[in-house]
Structure 1
Amino acid sequence: MEAFYSVLLLVLATIVANTIYPYFSVIPQAFYQIFAGALLSLIPMFHHFALEPEVFMLLIIGPLMFFDGKNASAKDLRRNVGSIASMAIVLAVLTVVAMGYLAHSMVVGIPLALAFALAAIVTPTDAVAVSSITTNMAVPERVMGMLERESLFNDASGLVAFNLALAAFTTGKFSVGMGVKHFLIVFFGGLLIGVILGGLAVWARVLLVQSGMDSSSVIIPYDIIVPFLIYLAAEHLELSGILAVVAAGLMYSFSSKQLRLSSTQLQLVSRSSWNIITSILNGFVFVLLGATLPTVWVNIQQDHTKDLTTFLILAVVLYVVMTALRYLWIRFDWALIHSKPKKRRSYALVGALSGVHGTITLAMAFSLPLTFNGAAFPYRNTMIFVAAVVIILSLLVPTIVLPFVLPKKTATVDPDQLEQERKALVAYASERLAQENPDTPASAQAVIQVLNSQTNNTRPDKKVTRLLLNQATQMEVKAVQGLADDGTIPTPFANRYVRLLLMKSQMSSRNPLVNTNIWFRFVGHRLWHLITHHGDRRKRRERLQTGQRHSHRGGDRSRPGHVSAAEQERRESFMLVEKTIYTQVMAFLTEATTIDNQAEVNAVRYYYNARHRRFESTQTANEQSELFIQAFQHEYTYIRQRRSSKEIPRALADELYQQVSTDQMLYTQEIAGEE
């Protein structure tokens, strides 16, 4: 149970860090996650927290690498095989060898095999961490592509080298020939088993869809369990589980056309599910780093107090030398990204600084055995500490330096203009929908409310909302007043209704004089009407009394469930008032809507729709489905007209088309599921 609570707290810390990040996005997201983990370390259950290395690799790294492979471009990978081999294999192996000898020479007493293991830990790069740092910066496309391809495969190179180094340490035996042979078998064997099992997984998924079992409750769990099964199978055969899941993910990427034959709803749910899972897992790793780093620090102070400075210097030297190696490799175009000579220097600097270390580095550090020959594994805390410092340096340095090197990212579409046009097209569609559907106002307003809710991410202004509510209240009073003047509803009922309406409005208003003014105007109008229409009032009273006598003769008052004539009249009057008020208020809101007050109008519309739904049951799925189709057609018409008149650029029109298309898919799928 303690393990469950620990994992739950780690996930909650990840969610909290991800929630805070958008408000202060200048600082990379990973730092918020590390800080959240550091706060967790204050809780007693995290004072000696340790996650099983095998479980960590299986549950976190496996699905993350599968997702990266699944989203990789098959065409791009085929075109850049040379660059991948150069960065992910040649440079990775060279870095492990160089860093291993350097660490062995700097730390007295550390075995050479463990020095190589440490070098293998700090070699892999993390493209996801790079993306979080460079969110608002324009990274050259060639450099970013190189980083993404490199991170797919150098993880496996680092892991294979790491396992070889650990095996050499634990057995005491190692030969270069056997090591190279083992590296090739594990590396390419992992790729082969991943291709085979990934192909089988794709075939089984397509078969499930073709058999009609394409519901999200079947396919989504199937997709999630695939990387775990493939990872376990590869590890059971003593091959690279990481490369196996990457290869399986690539098979999903190669088979994207076949996988698209599933329903739109399934594709949307699948994409959303994977985005959520990977976001949580990536954050989970950095939270775990923050949670374990204080414990590692304490353990190092207790075991090697005099060497703590040495370990800090070692981490800094390893980071500097690795960055220099990356710079030279890209500067002389050994990375094979085929950049122009005049741009190689800037590309090399950006590529070197963007060699950020993250998930895989920390995962390998945590995967170090806890014990060796019945005792604590030697230098385990030291290696985790050095890896953590390298990770933090690799995040911190580019965060500080890259903004001075790279220009700010310029969006192809102005966000402010996009937001304004989005509001304008929704306003256009709402107005047309209300005008063309006077016979189904409730259904039309429900659709309008949903459309408007998609364009407003800010809270409604309270002052503007209160003003609209007050104006709507005045509309209600005028509507009741008109019905009473026409004799459609009894005057006593109108008086009671307005009193109750104003009392309710009084409770939510900060200006009681407004409602008092409305009340006096209503009373004055009623008195004047009684004086000027006295004869009409007497005739209406006689008609009403005649109708009541007929009702008494024809009705059986003793019958159970019998409703008196007076009660029936009140009900009919109330329904008539509600219908009249709803129609007039919605017409007023439609007319009052502008691009700037959509949030406030929608808040008032939501209130009246919710009230009206209690008394009207005429909203059907078919009506709303047809109205949604109408609304989307109006939105497409608005975009086409604006584009034809050249009032908006093509890029903005394409973005609007994409948003409307996505909304249409979501709404039609939702309505279809409710029928």
Structure 2
Amino acid sequence: MQAVEIVLVLLLAVVVSGAVSRMLPLAIPRPLIQIAFGAVIGLVADWRVTLNPELFFLLFLPPLLFLDGWRIPRENLFRDRTTIVQLALWLVIFTVLGMGLLIHWMIPAMPLPVAFALAAVISPTDPIAVAAITRKTPMPSRMMHILEGEALLNDASGLVCLRFAVAAALTGTFSIFDAAGDFLWMALGGLAIGVAVTWSVTRVTRWLSRRFGEESGSQILVSLLIPFGAYLAAEEAGCSGILAAVAAGVTMSVVETTGQALAVTRIRRNTVWGAIQFAANGAIFILLGEQLPGILDKAAHTVRSTGHHDPWWLAIYVVAIVAALAALRFAWVWVSLRFTLRQAGKPARPNWRIVAAMSVAGVRGAITLAGVLTLPLVMRDGSAFPARELAIFLAMGVIIVSLITATVFLPMLLKGLQMPSEPGHDRAENAARVAAAHAAIAAIEKAQHDLSKGRDDADLYVEAAGRIMPLYRQRIESRSFEGEAAAMARLNDAIERDLRLAGLKAERSEIFRRVRARELDSETAGKLVREIDLLETRFDDPMD
């Protein structure tokens, strides 16, 4: 019964923290608020959450990594692939080696393999935390896309490095040649299994939907099970379940381009996955805060075993690690951008504000915490895993300090910052809308002809088509202008959208009024409101 109460308290804390983050006038990131809520729970509640590392890893990481792979814009990932790979792979290896040696030098009581494990878990970045920080100071879209692509790949590379470091800590041996062979098997096998699981499952569900009809609930449940299936299948084969989950998400985004799922399925599925992402990320940070008081006590004891007695040494360690991470990232971003600019034939002098913003935006978050909490509890001989509590505390400290640093400095660096433009984005969008409108007009004309053939009421079909097609023709005209005419067309679109939204909101208010007055039954009202909500979702889009 206590486990159920703990889950309910965690979810309630996630909800309340989200409300508080919206109420505060300052742009305090939601993760910091959630950590504070968790700390309060840890100090006030008379229970402690005992986390099973393997269970924690399985419950939180596969869906989050799957969703990252699913929602990442593939075109942006491919366009900036050189920069992303340099940040997500080589920077991770550079960070693991450099920070592992530094941490072991600072804290000799922490064995070198454990220091490398800690360095591995603090290497992944968290774009969701960055998005929370920059919600009042928007980040250039191209920079955000690079950070999202980096986070997608460095989650996998950092956690794979963690796996090798933990294996070395448990066995006491490490071979670079064996590690290289294992890495190739884990990486390639994990990617292949993730692709195979998603492709095969979606093919089967698509066949069943075509044969027997589609049920939205089943489709949503299948999408929830895919990341866990890919992860477990890869782990069973001795491959990387992390990479399998990422590959499954990217494959899902490719499969979705077939457009065979029902519109209502896509809408409901996006809502469900949005709620899961919000709850999972929030629960991780709440758990971080809840574990903080107890880990602080154990970490202080570990520090005393190194010869220090002042708990402030913990703060010194955290600040030193964050400073070293920032310095490594700044240097790497600078070199990476110089290399990219030189390859593009442009002056190889990166804007220092872009470099600084990219460095400060390397916030650590949910993946770092989830990874460090999976450190084994005991060694193979039954003894306690060395410096586990200290490693967890330092990772928590890095998360908190990096969030605070980004909160203070990132808005200042982003103010007025311009990234290289994303060529052809608006033009491609307009072209797609015009082409879709032409296709719609052709389909309506054909449907009108086919449906009215041989009918006495054929004029009704002509009149109905005449009411629908002008909307598409208006879209074609408004998207075909250039210069001032295009600006005026966009203004007209914005005015029309505002008027439509006002009308839809009035419709919904009237329906609810009739329900309250018992002039309309709830079932009919639900159907009408659902139709209005779908229309409002379509028009309440600033990019429309």
Q: Do Structure 1 and Structure 2 share a fold, with TM-score over 0.5? A: yes
Return the alpha-carbon distance in structure 2 between the equivalents of residues 57 and 340 of structure 1. 45
Structure 1: which 5+ residue stretches go unaligned? 430-447, 454-601, 636-654, 663-675
Would you say the 8 A contact 1:365–1:383 is kept in 2?
yes
Return the alpha-carbon distance in structure 2 between the equivalents of residues 166 and 178 of structure 1. 15
State the match for 1:401 in structure 2: 409
1:337 Cα deviation after fit: 5.5
Q: 2:517 aligns with which of 590, 594, 611?
A: 611
State the match for 1:658 in structure 2: 539
Return the alpha-carbon distance in structure 2 between the equivalents of residues 392 and 176 of structure 1. 34
Q: Deviation string for 1:190-237 (max 9, x for gaps)?
A: 112212222212212322332334212211111111111111111111
Return the alpha-carbon distance in structure 2 between the equivalents of residues 10 and 204 of structure 1. 36
Would you say the 8 A contact 1:426–1:451 is kept in 2?
no
Would you say the 8 A contact 2:53–2:373 is kept in 1?
yes
Would you say the 8 A contact 2:497–2:539 is kept in 1?
no
Return the alpha-carbon distance in structure 2 between the equivalents of residues 121 and 82 of structure 1. 23
State the match for 1:33 in structure 2: 34
Residue 451 (1) aligns with residue 450 (2): no
1:141 Cα deviation after fit: 3.1
State the match for 1:243 in structure 2: 243
State the match for 1:460 in structure 2: none
* Secondary structure in structure 2 of the residue aligned to 1:277: helix
Name the TM-score, length of structure 2 as normaliser.
Answer: 0.77
1:311 Cα deviation after fit: 3.2
1:77 Cα deviation after fit: 2.7
Q: How does 1:467-478 map to 2 (within 5 A)?
A: none
Return the alpha-carbon distance in structure 1 between the equivalents of residues 210 and 338 of structure 2. 43
1:291 Cα deviation after fit: 0.5
Closer, same or farther in 2 for the Cα pair 1:11/1:352, shift >3 Å?
Answer: same
State the match for 1:379 in structure 2: 387
Q: How does 1:427-506 map to 2 (within 5 A)?
A: 451-453=507-509
Closer, same or farther in 2 for the Cα pair 1:606/1:215, shift >3 Å?
Answer: closer
Would you say the 8 A contact 2:87–2:333 is kept in 1?
no
Would you say the 8 A contact 2:83–2:336 is kept in 1?
no
Return the alpha-carbon distance in structure 1 between the equivalents of residues 62 and 325 of structure 2. 26
Residue 313 (1) aligns with residue 316 (2): yes
Would you say the 8 A contact 2:353–2:417 is kept in 1?
no
Residue 344 (1) aligns with residue 351 (2): yes
Q: 2:334 aligns with which of 320, 331, 336?
A: 331
State the match for 2:431 in structure 1: none
State the match for 1:370 in structure 2: 377
State the match for 2:423 in structure 1: none
Computed over aligned residues only, the root mean square deviation of the Cα atoms, in angstroms, reads 3.4
Return the alpha-carbon distance in structure 2 between the equivalents of residues 99 and 606 of structure 1. 59
Closer, same or farther in 2 for the Cα pair 1:611/1:318, shift >3 Å?
Answer: closer
* Secondary structure in structure 2 of the residue aligned to 1:374: coil
Name the TM-score, length of structure 1 as normaliser.
Answer: 0.63
Q: How does 1:201-220 map to 2 (within 5 A)?
A: 201-220=201-220
Would you say the 8 A contact 2:124–2:364 is kept in 1?
yes
Q: Deviation string for 1:135-178 (max 9, x for gaps)?
A: 12232333222211111111111111111111111111112222
Return the alpha-carbon distance in structure 2 between the equivalents of residues 119 and 426 of structure 1. 50
Q: Deviation string for 1:381-432 (max 9, x for gaps)?
A: 100010001001110001001122112799x99xxx99997664466x5xxx
Return the alpha-carbon distance in structure 1 between the equivalents of residues 269 and 253 of structure 2. 14
Return the alpha-carbon distance in structure 2 between the equivalents of residues 452 and 78 of structure 1. 43
Closer, same or farther in 2 for the Cα pair 1:656/1:215, shift >3 Å?
Answer: closer
Closer, same or farther in 2 for the Cα pair 1:324/1:44, shift >3 Å?
Answer: same
Letter in 1 for 2:373: F
Return the alpha-carbon distance in structure 1 between the equivalents of residues 386 and 519 of structure 2. 70
Identity of aligned residues (%): 33
Closer, same or farther in 2 for the Cα pair 1:336/1:16, shift >3 Å?
Answer: farther
State the match for 1:298 in structure 2: 297
Q: Deviation string for 1:296-342 (max 9, x for gaps)?
A: 01222344343543332222122111111211222123586548645
1:610 Cα deviation after fit: 4.0
* Secondary structure in structure 1 of the residue aligned to 2:336: coil
Higher CA-based Rg = 1
Q: Which has the higher contact order (CA 8 A, sep 6+)?
A: 2
Letter in 1 for 2:372: A
User: More deviation in 190-199 or 148-157?
Assistant: 190-199
Closer, same or farther in 2 for the Cα pair 1:86/1:397, shift >3 Å?
Answer: same
State the match for 1:187 in structure 2: 187
Return the alpha-carbon distance in structure 1 between the equivalents of residues 244 and 339 of structure 2. 25
Closer, same or farther in 2 for the Cα pair 1:346/1:147, shift >3 Å?
Answer: same
Would you say the 8 A contact 2:113–2:165 is kept in 1?
yes
Q: Deviation string for 1:424-447 (max 9, x for gaps)?
A: 4466x5xxxxxxxxxxxxxxxxxx
Structure 2: which 5+ residue stretches go unaligned? 419-425, 427-486
* Secondary structure in structure 1 of the residue aligned to 2:212: coil
Closer, same or farther in 2 for the Cα pair 1:325/1:606, shift >3 Å?
Answer: closer
The alignment covers a number of residue pairs equal to: 461
Letter in 2 for 1:314: Y
